[in-house]
Every structure is written in structure tokens, then in C-alpha cells.
Structure 1
Amino acid sequence: MSNAIVTLKKGAGRTLKSGGPWIYDNEVASILGNFEDGDIVLIHDFDGYPLGKGFINRNSKLTVRMMTRNKDAEIDEEFIRMRVKNAWEYRKQVVDTDSCRVIFGEADFLPGIVIDKFSDVLVVQSLALGIDRFKVLIVDTLKQLMKEDGIVIRGVYERSDAKVRKQEGMECVKGFLGEPFDTKVEITENGVRYLVDVKEGQKTGFFLDQKYNRKAIWKLCPGARVLDCFTHTGSFALNAGLAGAESVLGVDASELGVAQARENAALNHLEEKVEFRCADVFELLPELEKRGEKFDVVILDPPAFTKSRNSIKNAVKGYREINLRAMKLIKDGGYLATCSCSHFMDYELFTRTIGQAAQNVHKRLRQVEFRTQAPDHPILWAADDSYYLKFYIFQVCDEK
């Protein structure tokens, strides 16, 4: 804790005042008092009105990340325990907690930290200097709360290896927090078994945000021929297989991902029904079209094509291309499940892009449903970055 006061420029802080979690470097008029980067500071509006407390880091464009709107709150162990307890109690009410995201940064009012639970293992990603100081306390508190609920955590692995840490003036960190353990962790989601590689897998090892979207495709799959593009470790493909698909082809450009997907297929005794191929989806879809291939269901779960506003135009081209190619491969009256996990590809733009793709290939879309990320990844209104996943299911019909 410091005695420093950050004062905003006149007219600045509009997002903050509407509930947003950050203060940007160009919104700060002055910083008075003694402090170190990572310390908790008091925030004042230009006229001296107190707006709350957050931790400061002048290395980052996000100069202050808010911890509370209460100017009198002490950001101490008791405060952190309260935040962690609230996050865990929320998960217990809204999701299956066998495997789930337990803490989702700003959306849980603990900015800059993500913690995923895979069965009896926790994976931590700490991305901000201020919250890094509380990392061990947050983990220990979680373990204690879970123990009270009869859940014994056998290990914790840190995946603070994202490049964004360097923007905070921090080194990338990866390794065990506590005693070493086997980093291949078996989980079950929607009845599907997976081996999650928390050490080498993408981000924290597995994408939990699509949990209920994967379940949503089950009703489309009995007896169907299914194509799952950007399958990663096979999650949508395996859900389709267990749901009763006649055959499933999962495609991904990562050899490691495809190897893990095959391993997961064997774990679920689906090797004969679910096939995986290492290929570039942008190259494979036109090839399948040339061969006259048709599918009852096509699933598109691509990585984020844009991680900044500067590359949105190229991202739109990419999303339009894969969606129109997919629509060409779907039998008349078949189904398309398509999504974007890019925050910058917002709902309106994503929706418009899919509509353009359908027009270009003379297909009519009937919307079955629109979904977003699972509720263990809560969307905090005014914190735009917390809303990133858009997921549509359409019936695709020929123009007649």
C-alpha cells in the first residue's frame, strides 16, 4: 500500500466511470506521493472526487487496474480472500466445477489473473504486476476453500508465459507452484474424456469456454457426417462422435494438437468413428469442395484471427472465407456451427460477415441459436474484453 494519488485529466475516465476496470496512461493528469509500480494507489477525478483504488504500473498503457470503487477499502489479505471466495461461490452456482475457470481476471474483480481448475489441478496465469504480488495468497485461499468442499488439489502449475507480461515489465514464468506432479491431467466434460497437457498445451492447456457450446451440437449429430475445422485437441469432434455421428473428420494445422486429439479419441474408444488430419483448413476446404464432398454438420472453431483493431480487415476476410467455404460443403438443410473468439471481432461485425458469406454463395441461413462463452467466463458489462466468444448454429439451405 502506498499513499500515492492518481488524478485523472478533466473529461477523462469515461469508461472507468461507467464501470470499466482500467485507467489508461493518456487519462492521467498527475501522480502524487511515494509509490512503486505494482502498489495500490487512490484514484481521484480531476476535481479531487475519490473514484476508488487500484494498482499502478507505469510500464503499461493500462496504468491503473481497479480493485475496488470503495476509497476506504483496505486491499489486504482479508479483501483478497473475500474476492476469491465470491468467485468460487459463483462457480458453484452456475457451472459444473469438476473442470472450470475459477477466476477470470477483471470479470471477478481480480484484474490480471486467470485460474483454471482441471479436475484436481489448478493452472494459474498471472499477467499484471500488481496482482502478481497476491498470486500465492489467491492460490492458497482457493485450495483452502475447495478443501472445505471436499476437493483436494494435488498440484498447481503456473503458465504466466504470455507476451503481455513483457508489456508490464515482467519476465515470462512457467513451472510448478509447489510440489511437481504429472502435468497430463485427465478431465471429463459433457461425458467426454480428455488428457489435458497443462505444461505444453495452449494457454492454460484446454479451452473451457466452449463447454456448453460443445454440448449444444449433440442434437445435430446422430447419424450425421461431421467436419470439425480447427479441432485443436479434438473437443467438438469427440462430442460429435459420442453424440452418435456416423463419421467425424477433425482438422488442425498443429501436429501436436492432432496427436493429442487422436490420444483423446482412443481414450473415448472413438478411433474408428472419429478421424483426425493435420492440414491447413484454408487449403483443405477448397480441396474437399473440388472432390464433391458433402457434410451434414460443419463446425468452425478457429483461433482469434485478430488480437488488435489494426488487423480487423484481414480478420474479416478470413472469417468470411472459411464460412463461405464451409457453407458450400454442407448438404441442403444441414447445419453450420461457427464462432469467433476475438474480442475485436464484435457481435455486429461477426454477424454481418457471416451474412455476407451466405450471400456470396447463395445460401439461406436459418438461425438455430446464438450462444456465448460458458458462465464460468462471466461477461462484465463495461469491461468489453470480458465478452469475446460468439457462437452461432445455423441451418444452411440452398436458395430455391
Structure 2
Amino acid sequence: MSEKTIVLTGGGTAGHVSLNEAIIPSLQAEGYTVHYIGSHHGIEKELITDSFPEVPYHSISSGKLRRYFSLKNFTDPFKVLAGIGQAFSIIKKVKPSIVFSKGGFVSVPVVIAAKLLNIPVVIHESDVTPGLANKLAQPFASHIFTVFKETLKYIPANKATCTGSVVREQLFKGSKMRGLKLCQFESKKPVLLVMGGSLGSVVLNDAIRSNLPELLKDYNVIHLCGKGNVDSSLLELKGYKQFEYVTSELPDLINAADFVVSRAGSNSIFEFLALKKPMLLIPLSSAKSRGDQILNAKLFKNQGFAEVLEEENLTKQTFLESLQTLIQNKESILEAMAKAERPKTPKEMVNLILKYEK
């Protein structure tokens, strides 16, 4: 099989990297040399270089595209221009047959550079409404894949396909027993997994820790609290296990969970759905975001996959009440999840992407 090359890009949060992580092994199995273009210090650099040391990682300048006033809005366009030039040089040297973008600010220079070099670009949008980076990149894309059918109305019909979700195969290989052993839980109480995203969530962390005396009466709690957010005063608390961030351990921890409390990032909630984990979603508020997580959470609630508690309504009491509602509705949630559409495998997603290569 003749060797071909593909460039992947995406970063800023783990959600803009996880699909790329999932498809790299399938691309390699198809005989592709994979290169990754990301930012100098973003989470994507750590995730890719740690998990795939054989994949060349190229760093470029990346400006943040803000929706609010900031003096950096006047300087960051120059970083984007520099990033385009850097990405242009990398892509010209690497000579990929296609570029695949998962989004995030760092992807914009890469997509523009690829278009300038007449390299096909495929974009993946996992939220209900396209993020700002993907909106800017749309005109330069050969095709755009979406997770939600509702997203298609925001994208030109001649270049859009809804594929549904793509879930990493290793998540299905997790072990409940390994997860429980990792946490050193001694009792057989149900396990509550709390995830605030790759950067952590102060709101979720506070909600969990303020309710620990009540929660630990009925649950063992796994808390993925984000880097730098471990509370050292709670390290010896039985039934409560904190992690800053996990990678290889995540499949075991999710499989050990009976219920999940989480933000509402698209990648994570589809993984919980695929693994049939009833979830309480606390989406990032519209005051702190463009509202994409709120839309994700509402769609999951409407389909019967989750309970939702808006961040603005989050208190110590409402958290416990919403969690109790989740427990009460466990069976109906599991029934709805059993009827959900099967997620795409990484190999199936790779086959779709490669249809557009040069």
C-alpha cells in the first residue's frame, strides 16, 4: 500500500482533540503518515505527544477569536496571520493529501493555509451550532461533518453531512473492576463520576465538595476536578477519589460509574450515552460561553438521555434534588439510551474523511 500523508489539527480543549486521538490509529492502519498542527502550549500538544510520540507535532502561532472587547483583539489577528504563514510552510513541506480539522482557534490558520495550497479540508463540528473558529473556516472547507442533525441548517447544504457521534473504541474496553481498584473504594455503594471538562470547573467542584457529607452517605465519588484543582485536605476521605486529569485511566473510571455529573460538551456526553451512563448535565452558562453546551444539554434532555440543571439555578439544594431526580428516572433514561443511534467507529469516520482527499 502506497504511503500517504494527512494533517490533523484542532485544540484549545480536550474536546477539540479527542476525535483526532480516536482516528489516528485507524489512519495509521490504512498506511497514512499522520502529522499534527497545534498551538505552542495548548492541551493538544500534551495529549498528542504523550499518546502518539511517533506523530510529528508542529506548533504554530494562534490568536484567540473573542466575542467580547479586549485589547488583544487588536494584536491577535497578527498572530493568526503569522500562524497562516507557519502552517503554509509546514503543509507545503509535508505535502498531505488532505487536512482534517476538529476546530478550535488554532485550526483556522491551518485551514486557510491548506486552501491556499489547494489541499482538501474536511471539518468536524460536534456542537449544535458551529463554533466561531469553524464558522470562519467553513468557506475554505471541502466538506463539513456534523454530530447533530440540527447543525445542518447552519451549513451550506452542498458541503454538509450529519454522521452522528464518533466514540473512541478504547472506552468500550474499560473495566469496572480496574476502575474501582484504581479508586480504592472499599464499599459497594453506587459510583458517581463527576467531570468538569479538561480544564476543570470551579462551579462543579464547589457543588460536589459542598455536598460531600450528604453524597458519601449513598455514593462513592470519582471527581475529575481539573489541573491544579485537587483539594489536599480531602485526600484521605474514604469514598472520595480526586484526579486532576486522566487519559488512559478514563475508560476504567467511566465503566466504574453508575451515574455521571458533567458539563455538556458534545464529545463527553455522547461517550456517556454510548456507555449507557445516566447523566446530570450542568452546561456552561451563556454568560460564560456562546451557549453551545446549553443547546447540547437540552437536546439530550428532550431525547430522554439526561437530566439538566442550569448553572444559574445551581445551589447546594438544587444539586441534590436534581441528582435525586436522575436516580428516580434511571430506568427510563436507560430505556431511551438503548434506542439511541449507534455511534460511528473511528474506522468508519476515517473512511468518510478520506472520500475527500486529493
TM-score (normalizing by structure 2): 0.30
- Which is bigger in relative contact order (C-alpha 8 A, separation at least 6)? 2
TM-score (normalizing by structure 1): 0.27
Which structure has the highest helix share of the two?
2
Which structure has the highest strand share of the two?
1
When Rg is computed on C-alpha atoms for both structures, the one with the higher figure is 1
